[in-house]
Structure 1
């Protein structure tokens, strides 16, 4: 729980009181996932948003040909969940599974809304995260429609260099929206330069 407290205080202007942190602690449920275990499967409603204490997860869809399309990775101190399904209570089009053994803190939408209305630091953190998420999504969309494979890889290498060591090449290719062969060529070219 200390990692979550540190995270919240990073996004707020003042430290959390013990009373506020007690409310926050009560709202979250610890959960462990084994490698390859699902947090969410396509067709289910996303009942929880998860804060990652340890491990790595991916959020992805599978098309009609069985090809995976990774839209999000989450590592320590990141959040993961299907926002649309979580908010609208609609069936998810995504799967979320653990790439490594993971320790998570789960919160329901009702619990999150309760914290937003009673703990100002949570409301401030959620606003900040929503803004950052919107900006990141906008940048990712722009990159996917306007960047070459080389430019997408260079940006990933600059923004999330840890991904290059942590995730297999075929998953990075899926995340970048390119084939594994193209990623291999781009990486090789990048190493030569």
Structure 2
């Protein structure tokens, strides 16, 4: 992997170049096709990932096969399966690429071992964990404090491009409403 790679420049900017060599072996560049599943429910995913390009969706499937979208992750974001990352258990979610996507996977256990000996990597590990927890907290808070319409408006304000990239059925599921309700919200906001 080339040290000039954007991922390395973003993620490891505070690590001396001489120390980067020890972590090159932990990084796996993975290209995902649209609709490709890269984490299946019931599997243990002992990695976290950074999205260099693209969009992924994490979802539950209920007994009837209905999918409930829990997370979206997009460019320049960290992602991890919460159950595997925090609890070292098999995933309860399925993770799928919504479009052509490039991720960098990093083996969490090996990264954790290296970070115990390297303060710079420890800071990165803490920062990545904080970002993941913060996103989960924001998601929970939005369901407690805001209506579906307010959640949609917030998404439009903060990430208008995502509303164009995500099909309505997944967007509605993410907001906790039906596609028909999302359509009504969109019509109200247009007027």
TM more than 0.5: yes
User: What are the within-5 Å matches in structure 2 for residues 1-193 of structure 1?
Assistant: 2-8=5-11, 15-192=14-191
- State the 1:43 CA deviation: 1.0
CA deviations over 1:58-82 (Å, ceiling 9, x no partner): 1111112222111111222112221
- Report deviation, 1:42: 0.8
| Secondary structure at the counterpart of residue 92 of structure 2 | coil
Preserved contact between residue 81 and residue 96 of structure 1 (Cα < 8 Å): no
Q: TM-score, normalised by structure 2?
A: 0.88
Work out whether residues 23 and 111 of structure 2, in 8 Å CA contact, stay in contact via their aligned partners in 1: no
Q: Which segment drifts farther, 19-28 or 93-102? A: 19-28
Contact 2:78 2:128 in 1 (8 A): no
| Aligned-residue CA RMSD (Å) | 1.9
Looking at structure 2, the residues matched to 60 and 185 of structure 1 have their Cα atoms a distance apart, in angstroms, of 24
Shift of 1:114: 2.2
SS at match of 1:118: coil
Partners of 2:150 and 2:135 lie apart in 1 by 16
**2:60–2:93 contact (8 Å) kept in structure 1:** yes
Structure 1 position 97, deviation (Å): 1.1
Count how many residue pairs are aligned between Structure 1 and Structure 2.
Answer: 188
1:98-134 superposed Cα distances (whole Å, 9 cap, x missing partner): 1112222111222220232233222212222333333
Per-residue deviation at 1:52?
1.4
What does the per-residue CA deviation read over 1:16-63, in whole Å, with 9 as the maximum and x for residues that have no partner?
211122223221112222222111111111132221122211111111
Distance verdict in 2 for CA 1:80–1:43, change over 3 Å: same
